[in-house]
Amino acid sequence: MHLHDLTIKKFNQGLVNKEFTALEMVQQLYKFIEKEDKKINSYLSLDKEAAYLQAEAADLAIAKGKGVGPLTGVPLAIKDNILIADQPATAASKMLENYTATYDATVIRKLRNEGAVFLGKTNMDEFAMGSSTENSAFGNTKNPHDPKLVPGGSSGGSAAAVAAHLAVASLGSDTGGSIRQPADFCQVVALKPTYGAVSRYGLIAMASSLDQIGPITKNVEDAATLFQAISGHDEKDATSSEVIYGDELSNHKIEKLKKMVIGLPKEYFDKGVDKEIIKKVKKVVKDLESLGIKFKEISLPHTKYAISCYYIIMPAEVSANLARFDGIRYSPLEGVKAKNLADLYLKNRSKGFGKEVKRRIMLGTFVLSSGYYDAYYAKAQKVRSLIKQDFDQAFKDVDVILTPVSPTKPFKFKEKTKDPLSMYMTDVLTVPANLAGLPALSMPPGFQLIGQHWREADILNIGHYYEHVQNSG
């Protein structure tokens, strides 16, 4: 089986039919990574020894007749802000360049229990702050479809690895669109779960009320499989939910889907979105309409405030979460001479943090400071409530909402780095789902499906239905 054909399901079938062993496929993938990743730089580190042991354990379990689970032996790429014990966790920052994780994130523990294999850690924007993976301290990741273009961010390495067939699937994190936008740019599938559906324990925090770990895959079915494995309550994360996802995630009842109504928010199709993108998304709408699914125009009036709201709340949480990184704990910086402790902190953070991270820390500290908290942060939280209320109201009339993922097509390197505001605007269509804590599925050719809280099944099933019809037609 060629690596380009490998999905989670096909990998599983290959193991069951004894077409290959997990170890053989992992070895083949590493050879392919060694050859191809020089071109795109999707991985920051590889741990072949650990991966070979995991693959051998999967093969041994199969030989002993223990059965083949859906993720047994499946080779995955993991974003470098998700902890894997005894592996580097740099968050693409010089501040953590020499840090090695001492424990597994909950999602990693769950995947270990499923028999998955971890190929390595993927490149990203530093501390997940960016939309192009240009903010990595360890070099840019290139878009596999055109190396002159960015892969999106901040999970650019995870999306590029899947698109370039350097992993069967991957995990990323999504704070304001950080798995959906790179998946869109790299033409693969990504699911941002409902806030609380997946434990954040072991994820290096950026903005704790917005962060969610999610899968990036080659198709919707794989996204459902990976999400099923990592979801669920975790006593180590107080924000994780007791909601249990059952067979509904992969129970594709066409008649049920045809009874659904999908909302089209007019605010997401305005003149700020590239005409070619709107044309593609409208073609998706027509295709779904021809399959019997109904559509209704809706309004989410506070959408226009979402990006401003996000870029107040997120930096405020960044300011608090990154205070622990002082260049002394975790990964001490070398060669820094200081007069006293305060001077040491100043020099370490100046040396260890990149430009964008410093910008967001300063913005966050400002909006939380005395005299500005009520004017900015408190007001942004009120606007966040209004944005959530917009969605609540809309979901009284529709089951799912369909929108473009990004207002622009993949752009060239350095095209937006000189103007941070233009870079921030690439998140304008994805941040509302994070602010409202809603699940959202991104898939080619550039659309996202936003569902109601805990209703990942709705968006996954519509996505699977669309994908199936497109592939068969």
Catalytic member of 154, 231, 319, 442: 154
64 carries an active-site annotation: no
**How far is residue 42 CA from its own chain's centroid?**
14
> How many other C-beta atoms lie within 10 A of the C-beta of residue 329?
9
What's the CA gap between 405 and 192, in Å, rounded? 12
Distance CA 238, CA 258 (A): 37
226 Rama sector, left if φ>0, alpha if ψ -120 to 50, beta otherwise: alpha
- Torsion angle defined by CA atoms of residues 415, 420, 423 and 428, in that order, rounded to the nearest 10 degrees: -160
Angle at 191 between CA 189 and CA 193, to 5 degrees: 180
136 counts as catalytic: no
Contacts of 54 (CB under 8 A, 6+ apart): 73, 112, 115, 116, 117, 118
Within 13 A of 167's CA, how many CA atoms are on the CB side?
Answer: 31
Range list of β-strands (E), 284-365: 294-298
**Residue where the block lists tokens 């996505």:** 463
Q: Give the Cα separation of 250 and 217 in Å (integer).
A: 15
For residue 353, what are the contacts with CB-CB under 8 A and spacing of at least 6?
Answer: 93, 94, 95, 126, 322, 325, 361
19: three-class secondary structure by DSSP: coil
Please give the structure tokens belonging to residue 235. 């006593």
Tell me how far CA of residue 267 lies from CA of 63, 107, 264, 306, 459, in angstroms.
56, 35, 9, 11, 20
Q: How many CB atoms lie within 10 A of CB 147?
A: 14
Query: Whose CA is closest to 218, among 167, 148, 273?
Result: 167
Nearest CA among 126, 61, 87, 67 for reference residue 352: 126
**DSSP structure string for 195-263:** TTSB--TTB--S-TTT-EEEEEESSHHHHHHHHHHHBS--TT-TT-------GGGT---HHHHHT-EEE
79 annotated active-site: yes
Rounded Cα distance between 410 and 407, Å, is: 10
CB-CB neighbours of 98 under 10 Å = 13
Of 163, 159, 166, the closest CA to residue 191 belongs to 159
What is the set of active-site residues? 79, 154, 178
